[in-house]
Structure 1
Amino acid sequence: MKTLLIACFFALNLFWTPSAIADDEKPSSEIQKDAGQPIVRLDTKAQKLSGIETLILKPASHHAEFTAYGKAINIQSLLALRNRYLLALTERSSAKAKFKQAEQNIDRQQDLYRHGVSSKRNLQEQQAQWQAYKAQVDATDFQGKAIIDEALLNWGKELTDWALSSNSTRLGAFLSGRQTLLQITLPANKHLPDSIQTIYIEVSGNRSKAHKAELISIAAQTDTAAQGESYYFQTGDKNIITGMNVTAWIPEANEQMAGVIIPKSALIWYMDQALVYLKTSEETFRRRTLDHYSVLAGGYFIPDAIKPGEQIVTKGAQMLLSEEMRGQIPSEDDD
């Protein structure tokens, strides 16, 4: 009889224990409604087990941006102009030295001729040589000016100064690979604000991976396809090499917008809609959709949908969405 009681006791334990364990391990969560909006309720223990992390948002400002396109351009023709110019300067120096010597010679021949020491023919020969050297000086001056004009027409004043000056430090940054020259062409209806010296560029069009590019000057020529204003920029991004096309993000001329910046991990997608989860109390979370946002290097700028001081979920938003969707599935007991 005793043996039978013990067997019954173990059988009851085997029957009830899994159910009790399942109830203990089941996350303490539920879905509620507030004005038709689902609210996920998750107790503190469940939040910890789920790895949910949050962040209280601070005020931030951001310039609205527009997109432009450009290319990393080859400076070989600019270097060729520099070499031609340096050669012209060398020829000019040589011509001027010969001309100066010819001036001294003609002065001496004139003095000798006045004193009857030298013939008129010798004086005339010296004068002809003087004129030839003067013509060489004038030709080298003209050649140098023609090279400058060509550089100005093709590259603009700033790059011309960089290339044709005796100090080529700035141009040397392109030669060493520390910098890459970009030509960015704006849309036809856009202008580069006077205050903008820095833009962001990237080869794949991913704003979050963009690098800085610094303004050099307005370009002397524009892209015939875009028909907009064109500018030269330089970038130290080592991933951009000559010939690559780039996307550029350029700040608008209007005032900065106020809003908040959220981390990249906070934003998730559901049915082609960007959304985040906000913590509205110790145990409740509410989904909020984002209609307007700007991509930044470290996250997203939100101008209106979220206010400073609100607490956003930075880790675990996808889990909260899954809980919300699971809570909307009718249970078998509802049938």
Structure 2
Amino acid sequence: MSMHREVRVLVGGFTDGARADIPLGLAVHRVGADGEAVAEGRLVIDNPTWISPGSAPDLFYVSQSARRSLSLVGVDADGRISLVDQIDIDALNPAHVAVDPQGSHVIASCFSEGVIVKVRLRDDGGFAGVEWTRDMNRALASATRRNSLQSDAEPHQAVPIGAGEYFVPDRAQDVVWHLGPDGAAAPAAEVRPGAGPRHLALHPAAPVAYLVGELDSTLITFRREGRALVPVDVRTTLPADWFGDSAAAAIVVDAVRERVYVTNRGHDSVAVFDIRAPERPTSIGWIPLRGRTPRFAGLLADAGLLAVAAQGDDHVDLFRAEAAARLQGSDVRLVHAAPACVVQVQL
């Protein structure tokens, strides 16, 4: 497909066991107005699987799965990537890194060890040091761990909600935590046993939040009431006639087009929900993918694109957002080893 203008994206992916004959680790991909894509700068660091933009448009924070590090990278005007700073957070497998909107700190959700780490930032965006580490293991007495994949604690993401506070989905304990600035945690919501909360997205206008249940492939809708999340709706992310193995992963809210997107790994699709009634999402269908294991989906709002990363088949597909909202549209394909995250870089 042709593009309205050139778009540049930063893609990160797993390096452990990945192909080495294609872009690996971090790479900047430029897509021209004619839809042709080319990889520009590359930086091979271990498992850069989540990328969050920093306070400056050329800086990005990167979490490194199955390692104990966070990195800060820079992207210059020619698409070259450089390692600006790195910190050992002394906690294994930061699956996600969230940036404080005021730029004072980042929060790493460390899935394997069940801890959350707050890292202070310097004025230039570099790492100043670990402020605190919060151990979430056995924090919720009512957790049942109905699914064999669940352990003691598996925080998978932190979502800023203001003033140093976060919502943190915990896949193992079937809870979304409210996390305070000092690391104090309290349940914001408990979900049904075995759901496996993975990622949460806020509606930008309505007091509503949407949560992916990874292990039971559900979209759970909450009404936000202060620091609490009140469940009001739950929907499957799979077709009624699907009987195979699948696990939900990413969630994206497109408020402009009144859609929520959820990826299904196994069914290998993107479930699309209408949210014109924000508390009652309605399934309108599935975007079939030409790739396995769609771990990530993200809205590149400035470019009007939906990016979907097929980790199992080493590529990222870019869909026009207005076409994806109607379950339609061709795509531009970017080749990248085991992709896990995509963010837009300002040209």
TM-score range (shorter-chain normalised) is: under 0.3
Specify which structure has the bigger relative contact order, considering alpha-carbon pairs within 8 angstroms and separated by 6 or more residues: 1
TM-score by length of 1: 0.18
Query: When you count helix as a share of all residues, which structure comes out higher?
Result: 1
